[in-house]
A and B are shown apart, each in its own frame.
Chain A
Amino acid sequence: MQTETRNENLIFKIPKSLKEGTKFPFCPGCDHGVAVRLVAEILDEFNLREKTIAVSSIGCSVMLYDWVNTDCVEAPHGRALAAATGVKRTNTDKCVFTYQGDGDFASIGLAESMHAALRGENITAICINNTTYGMTGGQAGPTTIMGQVTTTSPTGRNKEYYGYPIKIAEQIALCEGTAFAARGSLDTVLNIRKTKELIKKAFEVQLQGLGFGFVEILSSCPTNWRMTPQESHERIRKELFSVYPLGVYKE
C-alpha cells in the first residue's frame, strides 16, 4: 500500500539551513555529517540563515558551502578564524561561524584561532576533534592521543618523538575573550542532544555580543581509525573521554 507523505506530518525534516538534496561526501559512519546538521538546526532555531556568513576550512569539511544553505567563504588551511574576523569586523550585523577540523584549528591555525578568542571576536567556532588529519589520510595531528597508531606514528604516539596532545576546549577557555567554551561528543543520541545544546550556547553568546563562542566536538573517523562506526564510538567512550572530558569549560 502506498502512503502519502505530507509535509505537515513529517516529524524529521531537513533543516532549512541545509541545502535541499544535500548528500554528504563523508565516509560511512563519519560524525562530520551529524555535526554539520546540528549547526544547521541551530541556525534554523535562531532564524539566522539569511544573515549568516559561514567560513569553511581545509579538511574533510572543506565543501561546507555545498551543504549549508547560507553564504560561505573558504579560508586557506588554518586561517578560518582570521578570515571570519575580517568578515565579522566589517559586517557586525551578520552571524559568522567557522567549521574546522582539529588540525586546521589547533595545529596550523592555532595562532589564528587563539587570537580570535583572545580578541573576543563575536564569532562562533566549531572544531571537530577526530584525533587525526582526516582528509590527508590519517596522520598524527595535534590531538592524536598518547599511544595512538597513525600513518605517521606507526608505533604509537610517544612523548620522545611527538610530544603531547592539545586539549583545545580547555585552552580556549583560558582566553579572556572567550564567552563560551565546551566539549561535546556525538557517540550516542544523548550526547548528540547535549552537543546541540552546546552549539546553541556558542551561537547565543555571539548574538548577545558577549565574545568568542567555541565547541570542540569529539568525532569519529572510522576510515582512518580502521574501525567500524560502532567500534569508533566505542573508542571515543573508552579512549577519548578520559583524555578529553566532556563538559563546559567556560560560560
Chain B
Amino acid sequence: MTKKLTKGNYAIAQAAINAGCDGYFGYPVTPQNEIGEYMSKKMPKLKRAYISAESEIGAINMVLGACSTGKKAMTSSSSMAIALMQEALCYIAADELPAVLVSVMRAGPALGYIYPAQGDYNQAVTGGGNGDYRIIVLAPSTVQECIDLTYKSFYLAQKYRNPVTLLADGLLGQMMEPVEFKDYPYPEIPNDDWALTGAKNREPRAIYSLEAKEEVLEKRVNLLFEKYKVIEENEQDFEEYLTQDAELIVTCFGSLARNVKSAVNECRKQGLKVGMLRPITLYPFPVYKIQELAKKTKKILVIEMNMGQMVRDVQLAVNGKVPVKFFGKAVGKWIEVETICEKIKKEIGNG
C-alpha cells in the first residue's frame, strides 16, 4: 500500500469513517476544526449523519442519543470545550454507551491559546463528571497512530460498551506525515441485545442512569467496576524503547515521545544506559509494565508538556521502588531534544 502525506486531524477523520462511524456531531474549536470540516464534506455523501451542533453540550448529547441505538457515533473537540462535555460523558459512561471522543489538546487553563500542550491528561483520564466511572484513553504519538488508535477507539468502545477518548494534541492534529490507511482491522461487536431499535417482537428497552434504590445503584456501580477491572487486566498498552539495560527510563506520552526517543538515541551514542516507556493507554495505565521496569531500572524521569499530571500515575505504579523525577512545562516550544538530553545526563549524573 502506498503512503499518503496526511495531516493528523484529517487522518483521524478518515479513520473514523473507515471504522464505520455512522454519525459525527461537532462544534468548532481550534486546533481540531479540520475534523469537523472533513466530516461535513464526506459524511453526507456516504448518507451518514453530520451535524454542526449548537454547542459541545449539544454535540456530546447527540452522540449519547445516537450511541443508545447501537450506532457508531463520535464528536471531536478541545480543552475548555471538552470541559463542557463532562456531564454527558459521565452519563454515557453510566449508561455504558460506546461513544468516541477525540480530544485535541491546546494550552490552558481556560481559553489559554491554541498552542499545542498536554495539559488535559487529568481532564481525559480522571474526567470532570460526578461519581465513580472511567473512560478509556488512548494517546497517539504519530499521524499513523492517529489512524490506528482511532480504529482501536471505535473497537474498544464497542467491545466494552464504554466511552473512549483519543487524546491527541495540537501538534499532532496539525502536522503532516506519510501514512498508510489500512482497512478497519477489528471485528464488529453485536449489539442486538441492548441497542434501542424499537420494541418490535421484544420487550421495550430503556437506557438510563437514574436508580432510586440504593442497593441497585450500588450494584450497578460495582458492575461497572468489574468491567473496569477486565479492561485494566486486558488492555494496558505501551511502547517500550531500549529499556532492557536502562539505568534511567524516561516516561512520556503522546507526540512528546518523538523528541524523547531522539534524545534517548543521542544519549545511547554517548554510552548512557537510557530507555523510554510511552504509555499508549492512559487509562488503563500500564502499571504492570512500570512495576516490572521499576524492579530493573534505577530511576524514572517523567517528561510532559504540562506541569506534572501523568507523573502521579507513574508514582502510584512505582510505589516508591525507585525515585521518580519530573520535568515539564505548560506551554511554548515543544521540549527540545537537547533539553531532554541535558535532563537525562543530569539525572544519571546525580545517581
Contacts and interface: CB of A to CB of B under 8 A. Distances in A.
Interface of A: 19, 49-53, 55-56, 62-63, 65-66, 68-76, 79, 82-91, 94, 111-112, 115, 119
Interface of B: 22-23, 25, 48-49, 51, 53-55, 57-59, 61-69, 71, 73, 87-88, 91, 95, 196-201, 204-210
13 contacts: A63-B210, A75-B65, A76-B91, A83-B62, A86-B63, A86-B65, A87-B65, A87-B69, A90-B66, A90-B71, A111-B58, A112-B61, A115-B58
Nearest to B54: A115
A89 to B, nearest CB: 4
Given A74-B207, A112-B54, A115-B54, A90 B196 contact: no
Contacts of B22: 90
Contact of B61 (A19, A70, A76): A76
B51 A89 contact: yes
B196 A53 contact: yes
A111 B84 CA distance: 14
B197 A86 contact: no
B56 to A, nearest CB: 10
B65 A76 contact: no
Interface SS, B side: mixed
Given A63-B210, A74-B210, A86-B61, A50 B200 contact: yes
A73 B172 CA distance: 36
B198 A79 contact: no
Contacts of A94: 69, 197-198
B21 to A, nearest CB: 10
A110 to B, nearest CB: 10
Nearest to B75: A86
Contacts of A62: 210
A72 B206 contact: yes
A50 B198 contact: yes
Nearest to A48: B198
Contact of B196 (A69, A71, A79): A71
Given A52-B198, A71-B198, A83 B64 contact: yes
B308 to A, nearest CB: 32
Q: Which of A55, A72, A83 has the most CB of B within 10 A?
A: A83
B306 to A, nearest CB: 29
Contacts of A72: 196, 204-208
A68 B53 CA distance: 29
Contacts of B205: 71-72
B266 to A, nearest CB: 49
Contacts of A63: 210
Contact of B68 (A19, A51, A70, A73): A73
B57 A73 contact: no
Contacts of B57: 79, 82, 111-112
Contact of B65 (A49, A68, A69, A73): A73
Nearest to B92: A76
Given A73-B206, A76-B87, A90-B23, A85 B62 contact: yes
Chain A to chain B: the 5 pairs with minimum beta-carbon distance, closest first: A86-B65, A65-B206, A86-B62, A83-B65, A74-B208
Contacts of A56: 208
B199 A69 contact: yes
A145 B114 CA distance: 45
A115 B201 CA distance: 34
Contacts of A90: 22-23, 48-49, 66, 69, 71, 73
B65 A65 contact: no
Contacts of B208: 56, 65, 72-74
A151 B61 CA distance: 31
Nearest to A58: B210
Given A62-B210, A76-B91, A112-B57, A70 B51 contact: no
Most central of A66, A79, A91 by chain B CB within 10 Å: A91
B232 to A, nearest CB: 27
A198 to B, nearest CB: 25
B75 to A, nearest CB: 10
A111 B54 contact: yes
A249 B71 CA distance: 35
Nearest to A75: B61
A111 B73 CA distance: 21
Contacts of B69: 53, 87, 90-91, 94
Contacts of A49: 199
Contacts of A69: 199, 204
Contact of B25 (A51, A68, A86): A86
Contacts of B51: 85, 89, 119
Nearest to A53: B196
Given A82-B58, A112-B54, 20 more contacts: A49-B199, A53-B197, A69-B199, A73-B65, A73-B68, A74-B207, A74-B209, A82-B64, A85-B58, A85-B62, A86-B49, A86-B73, A87-B65, A87-B66, A89-B51, A90-B48, A90-B66, A94-B69, A112-B57, A112-B58
A63 B87 CA distance: 19
A111 B55 CA distance: 8
B65 A51 contact: no
Nearest to A68: B204
